[in-house]
Structure 1
Amino acid sequence: MRIGRLRDRLSLQKRDEVRDDLGGITHDWVEVTKVWAEVRGVSGRAYLSASAEQGEVTIEVLMRYRPGVEAMMRLVHLPPSGNGEIYTIQAPLPDAKRRELLCMCSTGVRK
């Protein structure tokens, strides 16, 4: 892996149970770690759903291999290199030697 390609700073987050001020449990996003990665747009589409125009973009995020990255975690683009864009991981795909991790992500429509 060429280190110069990893120019985007991202926060890897997972959804977890967190105690609120009153002692109750809520579900919130918790940062696992910060990573350097390369973010590339792959495709996009626009469509009508519920009488409103929707848009969805497919993104590839390439980073060093990291165990424990799962589908439905998310990556958040950190300033100053990014604008806080949120990428939902659909499929983490490690290479055969477990040196790189290619995450297929989506942004736009949230289900």
Structure 2
Amino acid sequence: MKAEELKHRITLQLFTTVVNENGFEVETWVDFKTLWSAVTNLHGREYFAAAVVKAENTVKFTIRYTEGIDESMRILFKGKHYNISSIDNIKYANKFIEIKAMEVDNSG
């Protein structure tokens, strides 16, 4: 992967408990880290495999290796939220991570 392919800004968010202005504990999404990413839709065999389990809204994000990322987080990209379904440290080289995430339906 070339550095110029990492041209989209994404924000990883962590679900955590914070204390609000009234002193009450509230569970909310908090920004963990903002990163450059390559973003692609699934295609070919990956797309059809996702369609079988009704996960067609899955997007693949490729970022530089970053510690502390797990499936409990979500991604904010272009105003949409994506729940992380899998994380792959490509070839265990600690250079790039491929994250598959499914768009969250906000229709209620």
TM-score (norm 2): 0.80
- C-alpha distance in 1 between matches for 2:15 and 2:6: 25
Question: Per-residue CA shift, 1:58-104, capped at 9, x if unaligned?
Answer: 11100001011000201111xxxx3x121111111102211000001
Give the helix-richer structure, 1 or 2.
2
Indicate the residue corresponding to 1:19 in structure 2.
Answer: 19
Indicate the residue corresponding to 2:94 in structure 1.
Answer: 98
Query: Secondary structure of 1:4's partner?
Result: helix
- C-alpha distance in 2 between matches for 1:24 and 1:38: 39
How many residues align? The count is: 99
Residues 37 and 62, structure 1, Cα contact 8 Å, conserved in 2: yes
Query: Secondary structure of 1:92's partner?
Result: strand
CA-atom RMSD in angstroms: 2.3
Over 3 Å off, 4+ runs = none
> % of aligned pairs identical?
22
Indicate the residue corresponding to 1:30 in structure 2.
Answer: 30
Letter in 1 for 2:2: R
TM-score (norm 1): 0.78
Give the strand-richer structure, 1 or 2.
1
Q: For residues 1-111 of structure 1, what are the structure 2 equivalents within 5 Å?
A: 1-42=1-42, 43=47, 45=51, 56-77=56-77, 82=78, 84-95=79-90, 96-109=92-105
Question: Per-residue CA shift, 1:6-53, capped at 9, x if unaligned?
Answer: 1110111100111012211111111111100011111375xxxxxxxx
Letter in 2 for 1:64: R
Report how far residue 109 of structure 1 moved.
Answer: 3.9
